[in-house]
Structure 1
Amino acid sequence: VWSQYEEAPVEEVVPVLEEKERTTNYKPVFVTEITDELHFYVQDVETGTQLEKLMENMRSEIAGHPPVEGSYAPRRGDYCIAKFVDGEWYRARVEKVESPARVHIFYIDYGNKETLPSTRLGTLPPAFSTRILPAQAIEYKFAFIQVPQDDDARADAVDSVVRDIQNTQCLLNVEHLGPSCPHVTLQFADSKGDVGLGLVKEGLVMVEARKEKQFQKVITEYLNAQELAKTNRLNLWRYGDFRADDADEFGYSR
């Protein structure tokens, strides 16, 4: 029965990987805070009026029924209200309680942090909870760049970004996801100039040379800007390419 049997050849199916294109969909945001690690927090411009209305109504209610000083017992993870240095109340989250005199809080709509006594905190009224309006400060990180590990060099980069974009409107595009927050490119609202690329041109940061095909055009632009910054010995490159021999010694890594 099997003397004339021939096994049919197995056709090898090679999966065709669809090349992903870089997508750009820049949306207007308002930059509220820059962190020491060069992350930043933004508010979505489209929901800005909702936040303004919520803050107005919340402060009106608090003015009519002010919290009794010292009556609030903060617990880690709680949402609360906190009185900022300007004397106004804002929504916040308790991050750590050292003592009644030292409570670490995070302003959920702006991204800044502060350490306050519990006497400047109060219960967040339910009508203004995150179920009514989610926290408006969203954390992002610049795509395609590496922030210097050296404290002074990193501080120079942070200072530049604070001067250029804090408390201003910009345009934001999500490039890819990261372990802690999305990585994005940010443009100045007026000139459409790339903020991250500007940092590279000034020699304040290094380029993260990613391998994904969809990013190669923008990565090439960043690398060309980095080479020019090296040639002109700007900031990080003032003594040449430190990464060649002394990267470990100066706290840098490729």
Structure 2
Amino acid sequence: LEKLSSPFRKWKYVFPSPDTVKNVLISSIDTVLNFYVQESGSETVIAELMENVSNICQSTKPVVSLTNEDLYEGMAVLSVFSEDEQWYRAQVMKVDDKIQVCFVDYGNTDNITVRNIRNVPYELLSVAPLAYPCKFHSEIGLVSGPEIEKSFKSFIRDVELSMKVLSTASEHIEVELSTSADPNKDIGQTLFFEIPEEVRAKLLGNDLKESIFGERTDSQNSTDCIYKLTLPPINSTIKGIASNIITIQDFYIQDNELTSELVSLTQLTPSPTELNIVSNISVDDMVLAKFSGDEEIYRGRVINIGEELVKIFFIDYGNSDLVPKNHIYQIPGVQKSYPCYALPCCLDCDLPTSELTTDKLSEVLEDKDLEVVIKDHKDKTSLIVDILLIDNGESVVDILRESLNNEMPECEQDTLKTAKTDLDKSPKKLCKAIDTPVFTDHPALPPDAPVFPELDLEKEDGSKFEATLTHSNNLFSFYLHKKSSQDQVNELMDKLLSHCGTTDSTPPPVILPGMAVIAMMDGDGSWYRGQIVEKKEDNSYSVFSVDYGNIETITSDQILPISPEFLQEPLAYPCKLYLADDKSLPDTAFDTFTNLLDDTTCQIEVMSVEENMLEVKIGVIEGDVFTQIFKI
């Protein structure tokens, strides 16, 4: 058997696309925020799968030496269901004296011992779970309780339902349900209006016409509370100030009309001596926390939890901080009904998201009164906006674009020079700050122009392999070599060296963006396969190394035509780290990442393929890389 403690054994759900309508049966109900459905007509498939599971488990002996420490939350296993003593596919939910598992083809849970667990063969792991985890999209998703669950079960008992998929953006499918007998009757809405009117009013506020996209309930320990994000309507205008800027696609605005409410809320905050410290903190809890910048206490949401420090997002300002656990307090009931006062925004523009644009936006918006035009709602959780400066009516986007046009060429050259300083001569180490190249803004190449075949990333979805890091821009853009392809890499480099030592050293007569070439990188003076990114004003060229992932600026005499024998698929896989979120990453994340992966063979599991990149989990000797990044 493969070692069970491998960090890469996980079920991969395949959800129906939004707007899909399917006939389903409810297989398990926990709450209206967590229930499971099976597609009608899947009984035969499930029966055959269960027979395979049973045959495998009957022929497999338990791993006697296995302990609870070998298991982890989210791990895919085979497990016995105690009520019928049959084997099923399952996922570990919690590891304690007993292991809590969820049966992925049904959705129900059980607590079992470690001896009732088996490894999952690949042929079973590769079949997606047959029960979809669901939650109601409508307002019923804001509240839960025994009466609601009881009413829900009365609607669906032994009844085939019509399910419309509204969103698959989270771990649960957001759905509308109706019965075949009454297809126009939304079960979620019906349940919601069975809630007492005073509870509905508290959930939605006095104005039921307002959007409540960000509203939700948390019922965890002593932090039980409700918090609400109300997005202004599309095409409306507000006046406000910027409270925090992360990037041009992620910043926060406070509405001036709500300033007095925020002041009132602040005045309601008791002193630390009057507050109770939260004894058992959970992710997504709403709390009061002390901000290190001014030692004042503000409302916040728990993002990540370390041994001594907790990452807190301050919901009324949009900034984050690492807060000691003894500076996190239970939130008084009077402060629970206030909405979030920091509106998450992104700028309606095509400007690049970079450190330069972020600095410029901060400079332009600092201490300025702003007129914010709401263009659209993004994913129902933030605003797409235009911004005007009230004092002169100038468009912020126009100011940024003019500023960037003046400064970008010099900045790019400085970035390249900085990236090369104090680094070793290997091209895989260069240009740390340069983003992944995009080859779309150039005229179409002539039909006979040499190009590299597109890397087939889809075939890697769900795969696992050993790899080494060749180049990293950040946690959302880095490149890997498969260990199995190392001989191919070495052979290619030898052939390039031999070829370039005997061929004519004349550059191609025409050099165009997107063209495949052979390029001499300044880092070590060796020849590499490259793709032209752009021509610079000084007639130099930015070249992307397709087998390592770095970019260099070189002159035309460092570029040779490429022969057909070298027009193979690139050997560097573009990747981003699974679960990484730039809102919650610690400042040391990139340094930790590169230190863990430098000159190390790591274990890779491809979780998905998105935007021409592999979204990967990475395991090293120290453990899962994402987990190590958040060790505080």
TM-score, normalised to structure 2, is 0.27
* Deviation, structure 1 residue 253: 8.0
Matches within 5 A, 1:101-250: 101-129=97-125, 131=126, 133-147=127-141, 149=143, 154-165=145-156, 168-176=159-167, 179-192=170-183, 193-203=185-195, 206=200
> Percent identity at matched positions?
22
Q: Deviations over 1:104-161 (max 9, x none)?
A: 22211112222211122122233322x1x10122222112214465xxx722101211
Gaps of at least 5 residues in structure 1 are 1-22, 213-247
Q: Deviations over 1:180-223 (max 9, x none)?
A: 433211012343342113213433684865768xxxxxxxxxxx
Q: Deviations over 1:53-75 (max 9, x none)?
A: 11122213333x14337454441
Contact 1:43 1:138 in 2 (8 A): yes
CA distance in 2, matches of 1:177, 1:83: 30
Instruction: Tell me: CA distance 1:166–1:137, structure 2 relative to 1, closer, same or farther (3 Å).
Output: farther
2:45 to 46, 50, 70: 50
For 2:77, the equivalent position in structure 1 comes to 80
CA distance in 2, matches of 1:35, 1:190: 25
Instruction: Tell me: CA distance 1:118–1:51, structure 2 relative to 1, closer, same or farther (3 Å).
Output: same
CA distance in 2, matches of 1:196, 1:253: 26
Instruction: Tell me: CA distance 1:91–1:177, structure 2 relative to 1, closer, same or farther (3 Å).
Output: closer
TM-score, normalised to structure 1, is 0.61
Instruction: Tell me: CA distance 1:95–1:145, structure 2 relative to 1, closer, same or farther (3 Å).
Output: same
For 1:95, the equivalent position in structure 2 comes to 93
* SS state at 1:111 partner: coil
CA distance in 2, matches of 1:188, 1:112: 23
Aligned alpha-carbon RMSD (Å)? 3.3
1:158 alignment partner AA? E
CA distance in 2, matches of 1:210, 1:42: 32
Higher relative contact order (CA 8 A, sep 6+): 1
* SS state at 2:145 partner: helix
Instruction: Tell me: CA distance 1:190–1:253, structure 2 relative to 1, closer, same or farther (3 Å).
Output: farther
Query: Which protein has the bigger strand share?
Result: 2
CA distance in 1, matches of 2:64, 2:159: 36
